[in-house]
Amino acid sequence: MKLLTTIAAVLISISAFSQDYVEYNEGGFSMNGEELSMEQIYDLTVLHKTGRGNFRRANRLIRLHKNGNLRNANNILYGLGGVVTGLYGVPSALIGGIVVLFDPDFRGVGLIFLGAGTGLSVISSKAFEQVSSIEGCLRKRDKQFKKVADKINQALAAGGPLVQSSNQ
């Protein structure tokens, strides 16, 4: 019985290593030990129709990382957006909550203010999340590229090995 289990484990490991698998590690992609270029990764995302948005976001983060002026302008824009939406959202939510609790005649208006204020507060917090440091750009880039690799691997697992159809 141990022999059969060992043989099965060896066959499974051989079949796992023989499959195409895209790996991402700190700014570089590889498949079967061979380094892949960004153009090849983009072609894979287009071929399998998956991960294109993540690839685009990661490349934007690379541009933000390399260009300090672009990163500062981006941070100022998102910071101002966060402040403005927060300055309107928090008081609106407070006023709406007070109206809902204490004035039953205007409960509908209070709910509108409460919902709008809460929504703007969420938008404000999301805007502040977009503000990036140099390290934050790299961390977010790695997260996006890992999603690209995972999506490509899922497409490869679903579709089998990398083979282009004859009509392309």
Convert the chain into a string of H (helix), E (strand) and C (coil). CHHHHHHHHHHHHHHHHHCCCEEEECCEEEECCEEECHHHHHHHHHHHCCCHHHHHHHHHHHHHHHCHHHHHHHHHHHHHHHHHHHHHHHHHHHHHHHHHHHCHHHHHHHHHHHHHHHHHHHHHHHHHHCCCCHHHHHHHHHHHHHHHHHHHHHHHHHHCCCCCCCCC
Mean pLDDT by 10 residues, the chain (168 residues): 56 49 85 86 88 90 88 89 90 92 91 92 85 84 91 82 45
| Predicted confidence (pLDDT) per residue in 15-60, tens digit | 444 457 888 888 788 888 888 888 988 988 888 888 899 999 999 8
> pLDDT at position 144, please?
92
Instruction: Kindly list the domain boundaries of the chain, sorted by start residue.
Output: 22-155
